[in-house]
Amino acid sequence: MDNGQHTHIVKYKTFIWVLLVLLVFTFSSIAITELELGVYTVTGALLFASLKSVIVLMYFMHLKFDKKFYAIMMAGIILLLTSVIIVTFLDYLYR
């Protein structure tokens, strides 16, 4: 039972930088939809969304500085959800 609050303190400045990166990605995802990439437009927007999530998870949610267990579980959950969607699509893609 450890109550040693992790002594790791994230600087305010780090959080501000993280916000700036998030805003850049946000506006990039909007800009990319202006381009005519056909099917891939949305892929681009979702790619930026994924990058934003990783940054929120790593810095705001502290996964970068916590025990690896949390990050591994998080990755596992995402993999699980993705796999379930893929298996569901085995039905819809081939009807």
Partner 1 sequence: MIETHEREATPSFLEYQGRFKGLMGWIFSTDHKRIGLLYLYSMLVFFSVAALLGLMMKLELMAPGKTIMGAQTYNSFFTLHGITMIFLIVVPGLPAVFGNFFLPIMIGAKDVAFPKLNLISWWIYILGALIALSAQFMDGGAPDTGWTFYAPYSFKTGTNMLPAVTGAFVLGFSSIVTGINFIVTMHRMRAPGMKWMKMPLFPWALYGTSWIQVLATPIVGVTLLMVVLERTMQIGFFDPALGGDPILYQHLFWIYSHPAVYIMILPAMGVISEIIPTFARKTIFGYTAIVVSTLAIAFVGYFVWGHHMFTSGMSGVALYTFSILTFLVAIPSAIKIFNWVATLHKASIDMQTPFLWALCFLFVFMIGGLSGMVLGALSANVHLHDTAFVVAHFHYIVFGGTGFAFFGAVHYWYPKMFGRMFDKSWANIGLAIFFTGFNALYLPMFYLGMTGMPRRYYDYVEKFHGPNIISSLGAILMIAGLIIIITNLVRSAKHGTKAEKDPWKGKTLEWTVDSPPSLENFEEIPVVTHHPYKYD
Partner 2 sequence: MTNHAHIDEHRDDEGSKTGMWIFIFTELLLFGGLFIVYSVYRYLNPMAFHLAAEELDPFIGTVNTVILLVSSMTIAMAITSIQLKKKKLTLILMGVTVLLAIIFMVNKYFEWTGKISHGIFPGSEVLHQSSQGEILFFGLYYAMTGLHALHIIVGMGFIGYVMWLVKTDDVKHDDYVILENSALYWHLVDLIWIFLFPLFYLIT
Among 62, 60, 33, 65, CA closest to 46: 33
Q: Judged by CB, which is closer to partner 1: 9, or 90? A: 90
The Cα–Cα gap between 88 and 95 comes to 12
Return the residue of 37, 40, 65, 70 that touches partner 2, per CB under 8 A: 70
Binding site for partner 1 (CB under 8 A): 1, 77, 80, 83-84, 87-88, 90-95
Kindly compute the dihedral angle of the four CA atoms of residues 26, 29, 33, 38, in this order, to the nearest 10 degrees: -160
45 binds, among partner 2, partner 1, none (CB under 5 to 8 A by kind): partner 2
* Closest approach of partner 2 to the CB of residue 3, in Å: 5
Question: Which residues, 28 to 57, sit near partner 2 by CB under 8 A?
Answer: 29-30, 33, 41-42, 45-46, 48-49, 52-53, 56-57
Asked whether 88 and 54 are in contact (CB, 8 A), the reply is: no
